[in-house]
Chains A and B, each alone.
Chain A
Amino acid sequence: MASPTELLSGIAKPMPGYDPIGGRDQLVTDRADFASITSDVAGVIERKTTIGWWVTFMVSLGLLGILGLSVAYLVYNGTGVWGINSPIGWGWAIVNFVFWVGIGHAGTLISAVLFLFRQKWRTGINRFAEAMTIFAVMCALLFPTIHVGRIWLLHWVFPIPNQMSAWPNFRSPLLWDVFAVSIYGTTSILFWYVGLIPDLATMRDRAKTKIARMAYGIFALGWRGSNRHWQHYEVAYLLLAGLATPLVLSVHSIVSFDFAVSQLPGWHTTIFPPYFVAGAIFSGFAMVMNLVIIARWAFKLEHIFTMKHLDNMARVITLTGSMVGYAYAMEFFIAYYSGNPYESFAFVNRAFGPYAWAYWIMVSCNVISPQLFWFKKLRNNIAVLFIVSIFVNIGMWFERFVITVTSLHRDFLPASWDYYSPTIWDIGAFVGSFGLFGTMMCLFVRFLPLIAIAELKTVIPAADPHGAHGHGSDHAHSDHPHSDHPHSDHPHSDHAAVDQGHGGQGHSAPAIALQKATHEH
């Protein structure tokens, strides 16, 4: 297996019989049967804890401690310990909030949107990306929570009857945001948990100790793989995917309303919802890319997190990065074309004012760096993928900084203009939030299956009841006349086992849940 230096120094070595573009075929090689998928994924949990995991966990815990300290100091003293001032009332807290919510979009996008579009390659990475989403949303929710200052009054944002007979202001986008982000978090957890149930049952049935069997068993809810259950399960999963798809698009739209619904030049623009959604997908995929590259190396899962996954994610990054670049350009154009002097000032000030350094970091990271992925050679180079993805997230953090701070710092009255710099407590809270994220990710990969075991089994040829020739099947029932089958009209059925490897993407996986659900007559 490649060492870190090998990984970061060049093109990952392809494994034997592995076509980096038709990556699905990797699952069809000698390792691909049901038992090996189970043991490969469960093995990550069952193996002895590695030193690498402990180091990562300890570093994350250390950062989490910094977060705790920063938050405690803030709550004790009030938000004055941050660098915010008048007119810059929204500093790093809101920047960090939007940054983390954005990252939290990739999981649901991969799980739900790609599921509805029948992108089978999502199957390898969806669980991992969903977990990342949940932890990113946790980090995101933290920042507005502590930004309110008196967090012991946070329940005022909810419509709860109280002794003052006061109610929240439903005409404010900030309140929409409370609902959007918390419901997004809740729905993501539900979606993730429903996906986990069969895999928790797998862990229960493999558990060696009584404690493990009890722990997995309780959360597996007594799942026993009944087809009368699978039938409802698949419908539930499809419905959750259908609900999560508009939800994921709505969340960052509503986050963008926090800005767009205000009257402030630089914020008050109709392009924000799609622009924010594209940016969110962009940063989310970059974060998934980074984490998947680490996980596939650390847990030796190169045959499941294939180069095909990385390649596809790189394409999504280039697409959404270009959309973000288009939005930057269009904002400038509209500022000019509107003829509004305040709007023009906001944008010229953004690119050439005191925060020009931040603006150009944003443009270089977000618009220029993802263009490298037009080249296939670079898309298949792990080091390039990893580094560009880090740049993308740096750039996306700066995008939120630029939007938030440059629009605020020179308001309508020049006498109140100011320059904003963070304090140590701003930095502590942001750096610490990576500790929260890292701690949760470490615990997740240690105790829960980081790949959807049951779902991955459906995309290997042996899963097809009509045409599985070999590969994990002891009896190939290919001799049955296909006219008997309710689904014999599917062109896929007869070609399911494309052993040679080419074009496997289109033919190898007829048994995915969606097809089953939609073809029930």
Chain B
Amino acid sequence: MSTDHDTNEREYGLLAEFTNPGAVFHACEKVRDAGFTVWDSHTPFPVHGLDKAMGLKRSPLPWVVLVAGLTGASLAMLLQWWIGEVAYRMVISGKPLFAWQPSIPITFELGVLFAAFASVFGLLHLCRLPRHHHPLFSSTRFERVTDDRFFIAIESGDPKYDREQTRSFLASLGATAVEVIEDRDVD
């Protein structure tokens, strides 16, 4: 860590700015190939193929959602069986107390409900959101990440991180600006 900062501040890492998706795409490939691991790219919209360029693994989210959906559907079937056959045995219009056919609509609906909630909360969990404070938000330049600018951030925690070398490496990838981001305590 750098010594020219007081104890409340440490270095979060380097933020490099790019002006178009092609530039950030090729830069990501090079950062990946250079062996960096604790880094990220930030874009206003999902750039096609960037996951591959960054060397990311597939998202596990579909499995989470599948399990949640099956859980919801099973619980719905169980609920309808339990109410019909056990808790409230009442013959209505001579229909069976429980049958699987009329139980399908609610089984399907509750399966969808559980799966939908799993998608959203699974997404938030995988992204570690909500997180309203982040060191990158200290950069004014970074405000355009939701508009028309593209960024690569390499964190100081990366084993290959060296402020000066990494800075010139990022500059050589076509970055229009590279800045050091401090990791301030939340005040």
Which residue numbers of A lie inside 8 Å of B, CB to CB? 33-35, 38, 159, 165-173, 175-176, 179-180, 183, 186-187, 190-191, 193-194, 198, 201-202, 204-206, 217-218, 221-236, 239-240, 243-244, 246-247, 250, 254, 257, 454-455, 457-458, 462-466, 468, 472-478, 480, 484-487, 510-513, 515-516, 519-521
Contacts and interface: CB of A to CB of B under 8 A. Distances in A.
Nearest to B18: A475
B74 interface: no
Interface in B39-74: 40-54, 56, 58-59, 61-62, 65, 69
Contacts of A484: 29
Interface residues of B, number: 79
A480 B23 CA distance: 10
B112 A485 contact: no
Q: Nearest 6 pairs between A and B by C-beta?
A: A34-B148, A465-B25, A477-B22, A221-B130, A473-B20, A511-B48
A167 B42 contact: no
Contacts of B5: none
In this complex, the member of A191, A235, A485 whose beta carbon has the largest number of chain B beta carbons within 10 angstroms is: A235
A511 B25 CA distance: 13
Interface of B: 19-26, 28-29, 40-54, 56, 58-59, 61-62, 65, 69, 79-80, 83-84, 87-88, 90, 92-93, 95, 102-103, 105-106, 108-110, 112-113, 115-117, 119-120, 122-124, 126-127, 129-134, 136-137, 142-148, 151, 174, 176
A173 to B, nearest CB: 8
Contact of B123 (A168, A194, A511, A515): A194
Contact of A224 (B61, B62, B102, B145): B145
Given A183-B110, A226-B41, 19 more contacts: A35-B147, A179-B105, A180-B109, A194-B123, A217-B132, A222-B132, A224-B134, A224-B142, A225-B146, A226-B127, A230-B46, A232-B61, A232-B127, A233-B123, A455-B45, A465-B47, A474-B19, A477-B174, A513-B46
A516 B48 contact: yes
Q: SS class of chain B's interface: helix, strand, loop or mixed?
A: helix
B132 A179 contact: no
Given A205-B143, A486-B49, A520-B58, A221 B124 contact: yes
Given A232-B126, A475-B19, A486 B116 contact: no
B30 to A, nearest CB: 11
B46 A250 contact: no
B120 A170 contact: no
B148 A35 contact: yes
8 contacts: A38-B148, A173-B105, A227-B47, A232-B123, A232-B126, A240-B120, A474-B19, A486-B52
